[in-house]
Amino acid sequence: MVDVVRALADWWDAVELWLTQLPFGFQVVLATVVLVPLCWGTAVAADRAVDAAASRIAARRAARRP
């Protein structure tokens, strides 16, 4: 397990070094291409989770009322 973590850390260090050596414009474009979809997906997942929780709470409250 330690070897896997070490290999992952070494890979991440190589990616980080490659990214920091890119010109600033490419860094911005690459970060935008990666972060925008990631943030969008996280927002969609959070929205669906909140909607599901609200639906469950509303159903429980409706079931309690006579």
- Read off the pLDDT of residues 9-38 as tens digits, 9 standing for 90 and up: 999 999 999 989 999 999 999 989 999 999
| Segments making up each domain of the chain, as ranges | 23-66
pLDDT of residue 65: 80
Give the integer Cα–Cα distance in Å for 55 and 61.
10
Is pLDDT of 66 > 80? no
pTM metric for this prediction: 0.62
Query: Quick one: pLDDT at residue 2?
Result: 86
Q: Which of 22, 46, 52 is nearest to 34 (CA)?
A: 22
Report d(CA 27, CA 20) in Å as an integer.
8
